[in-house]
Structure 1
Amino acid sequence: MPRSAPFGVLAVAVASVLFAVNGTVAKLAMQAGLSPTRLVELRSVGSAVVLVTIAVLVLGRTMRLRAKEVAALALLGVVGMALVQWFYLVAISRLPVGLALLIEYTAPLIVALWARFVLGERVRARVWWALAACLAGLTLVAQVHRGVELDAIGLAAAGGAALSLAVYYLLGERLVAERDPLSTQAWSLAFAGVFWLAVQPLWTFQAELLADDVALTGALEPAVVPLWLLVAWVVVLGTVVPYTLVLAGLKVIGAARTGLIGMIEPVVASAAAWAVLGEAMTAVQLVGGAVVLGGVALAETARRAPRSAALPETIAV
């Protein structure tokens, strides 16, 4: 395992926790009156402004976009970011949140299958067992055994989120091999922001809504914060920081391993929702969370064997 691999693991793990907490923050913002599509737009545009500004100041000329990269970065921004969020919102409007997350987080399995059957790479059996453990654990977290009424459009949207997330992992890994993570994420966010501005012009938004006070719940009660502060959290700690950390991790540990570690997000999200929103976790869900973490740990042990210098560190070989 390369010496810098622990940094990659830590970066993706921290990003997953931030994404998980962001789900609760976003839900509070939507309960306060922001529509899901408007929140996604504010998230994309606000994050693009922040990160592009930082990237220009830090990177200078290296921020320059090369013509051959435009299509790939646009695809990463629109499919790997804008559509992941949109598909997920459609899915949770028609399915239980846990089930939608379960389907979305089959993305690492899609990555592994792509590497095995399209790229022709060898995949260790231990990685498949890790994937199976993670999916089984997520099934327990989602409580799908209770018998939920499935919606065809919701299932299709959740599947679209999984495919879009897989594109983000695979394409992001390829792009950061030649470009630094900061500028890669800045440009992809810029394309995502432009996409949402075209779909839903910003001037149609009632900006005064951002001044409304939001009463926090659960462990955060009785605090009251302005809505704009929740949106700022979604932009900075829910998007700019975690997405940049994910790309930094991708550069070091590869797409499959990044996807596996990212599977801790639904577990942490369930815990955050329990603490703040009162969405209690059952004993079965706690067991499922433990199984997910066990699967991630199993995947980590599978990645520690030395790899051949001739093979890319994309899937365990």
Structure 2
Amino acid sequence: MDAVANDARVHSGLRLGLPLAIAAALSFGMSGAWARGLIDAGWTPGAAVTVRIWVAALVLLIPTVIALRGRWRLLRRNLGVIAAYGLLAVTATQLFYFQAVAVMDVGLALLIEYTAPIAVVLWLWMRRGEKPTGRSILGALIAFFGLVLMLDVLSGRTVDVGGILWAFGAMVGAAAYFILSAKSDTGLPPIVLAGSGLLVGAVGLTLAGLVGILPMVWNTEDVAYRFGTVPWFVPVLAIGLIATALAYVLGIASTRLLGSRLASFIALAEVIAAMLFGWLLLGQLPNLLQGLGAGLVLAGVVVVKLGEPAASVASVSGDPALTTPGEHSVDTLEVDDA
């Protein structure tokens, strides 16, 4: 009976978690195209990303307070998790990536950041003893090779060592996003973790701008896209509301259902989504080699899924994919605290 119940939980988590993860990837993926319009209009990357995070943090502020329902002790008890999420998953990822882009090829910087799923697998192996299966390793290699083709980084260009280090810092932040999002024992609803983490991240980015680490330049000129010209606040709201606020909530919810390993590989679809929105908003089309790479990324995700540990193993290791949405709910934890 226990095995049957576990199988039901796994299938239930996959049915809900997979569409949420894909929706999160699509939401995250549109940010680059919208931001590129702002940057072409004279905004610095630092200003664009800081406004993006502030808009999302302010939008989620009231829903976060409502979701807490006065249980402020949840925030006090999880200050470490919230601070780590805001500083690593939000601030470090965004800040380090843009620092890398400032001195090296954008494609290579993004490729290094998207080695985060491999870092997640290694972390779970070292931290929890969850040794990856042969299929998981093969899937990681296929996905990695697909990203190499998609991002067209095999041009032999000279890169800046400092830029590589910044990009690896962004990779660490991205890996932290998946690992922290998968924590289902905090009692924090997804929207609370997203809202509080984004607020911490917004403050962190603002401080980085005030001390001069992150250049901040913006204006109120109209922004041009493939479909026409729009006021500056249209891309700002699109990035803040959809590509950040909604994306982070969906990302945390899906990661808790799927587990950090599988969710991190599905999130590779963000690269494909970014190319799609790049074509829709900017008229940028991938070449044949990049299209082949996109197919390999999807194939790699499938292979990783086939290589996931059996339900019994995942259950022992505490994989959130095997916990029903209410199993670690705030209400349950509130009773336990009492």
- The answer to whether the superposition gives a TM-score over 0.5 is yes
Structure 1: gaps spanning 5 or more residues: none
Shift of 1:176: 6.1
1:73 alignment counterpart: 82
1:198 alignment counterpart: 207
Q: Letter of the aligned partner of 1:150 in structure 2?
A: V
The correspondence of residues 205-224 of structure 1 with structure 2, limited to 5 A, is 209-210=219-220, 212-217=221-226, 220=227, 223-224=228-229
Shift of 1:259: 0.6
SS in 2 for 1:179: coil
Separation of aligned partners in 2, 1:59 and 1:77: 18
Shift of 1:63: 5.9
Shift of 1:137: 0.1
1:285 aligns with 2:294: no
1:82 alignment counterpart: 91
Q: Indicate how the Cα distance of structure 1 residues 82 and 158 shifts in structure 2: closer, same or farther if over 3 A, else same.
A: same
Q: Do the aligned partners of 1:100 and 1:158 also contact (CA within 8 Å) in 2?
A: yes
Separation of aligned partners in 2, 1:307 and 1:232: 44
Shift of 1:305: 4.7
Cα displacement string for residues 260-299 of structure 1 (whole angstroms, at most 9, x for unaligned residues): 0011111221232234323331111110010001111222
Separation of aligned partners in 1, 2:125 and 2:167: 23
Separation of aligned partners in 1, 2:50 and 2:318: 36
1:156 alignment counterpart: 165
Shift of 1:311: 2.8
Separation of aligned partners in 2, 1:206 and 1:151: 24
The correspondence of residues 242-253 of structure 1 with structure 2, limited to 5 A, is 242-253=247-258
Q: Do the aligned partners of 1:63 and 1:183 also contact (CA within 8 Å) in 2?
A: no
Q: Do the aligned partners of 2:256 and 2:320 also contact (CA within 8 Å) in 1?
A: no
Shift of 1:114: 1.1
2:188 alignment counterpart: 179
Q: Do the aligned partners of 2:43 and 2:217 also contact (CA within 8 Å) in 1?
A: no
Query: Mean Cα displacement is larger for which, 125-134 or 306-315?
Result: 306-315
1:298 aligns with 2:303: yes
Q: Do the aligned partners of 1:104 and 1:158 also contact (CA within 8 Å) in 2?
A: yes
Shift of 1:304: 8.3
Separation of aligned partners in 1, 2:100 and 2:217: 26
Q: Indicate how the Cα distance of structure 1 residues 238 and 273 shifts in structure 2: closer, same or farther if over 3 A, else same.
A: same
Separation of aligned partners in 2, 1:100 and 1:27: 16
TM-score of the superposed pair, with normalisation by structure 2: 0.84
Q: Do the aligned partners of 2:44 and 2:216 also contact (CA within 8 Å) in 1?
A: no
The correspondence of residues 1-317 of structure 1 with structure 2, limited to 5 A, is 1-62=10-71, 65-174=74-183, 177-200=186-209, 209-210=219-220, 212-217=221-226, 220=227, 223-303=228-308, 305-308=310-313, 309-313=315-319
Percent same amino acid at aligned positions?
Answer: 26
Separation of aligned partners in 1, 2:242 and 2:186: 25
Shift of 1:22: 1.3
Q: Letter of the aligned partner of 1:274 in structure 2?
A: W
SS in 2 for 1:146: coil
Q: Letter of the aligned partner of 1:174 in structure 2?
A: K
Shift of 1:175: 5.7
Cα displacement string for residues 233-265 of structure 1 (whole angstroms, at most 9, x for unaligned residues): 110011000111010011111111111001111
Shift of 1:314: 6.3
Separation of aligned partners in 1, 2:193 and 2:225: 35
Cα displacement string for residues 152-174 of structure 1 (whole angstroms, at most 9, x for unaligned residues): 12111111110111112112222
Q: Letter of the aligned partner of 2:281 in structure 1?
A: V
Q: Do the aligned partners of 2:184 and 2:320 also contact (CA within 8 Å) in 1?
A: no
Q: Indicate how the Cα distance of structure 1 residues 205 and 65 shifts in structure 2: closer, same or farther if over 3 A, else same.
A: farther
TM-score of the superposed pair, with normalisation by structure 1: 0.90
Q: Indicate how the Cα distance of structure 1 residues 194 and 88 shifts in structure 2: closer, same or farther if over 3 A, else same.
A: same
Q: Do the aligned partners of 2:105 and 2:159 also contact (CA within 8 Å) in 1?
A: no
Separation of aligned partners in 1, 2:164 and 2:185: 31
Cα displacement string for residues 103-157 of structure 1 (whole angstroms, at most 9, x for unaligned residues): 1011110110111123212322211111111101001112222212211121111
Q: What do you get for the CA RMSD once the two structures are aligned? A: 2.4
Shift of 1:312: 1.8
Separation of aligned partners in 1, 2:229 and 2:69: 40
SS in 2 for 1:148: coil
SS in 1 for 2:69: helix
Q: Do the aligned partners of 2:147 and 2:293 also contact (CA within 8 Å) in 1?
A: yes
SS in 2 for 1:24: helix
Separation of aligned partners in 1, 2:37 and 2:309: 40
How many pairs does the alignment contain?
Answer: 309
Q: Letter of the aligned partner of 2:32 in structure 1?
A: G
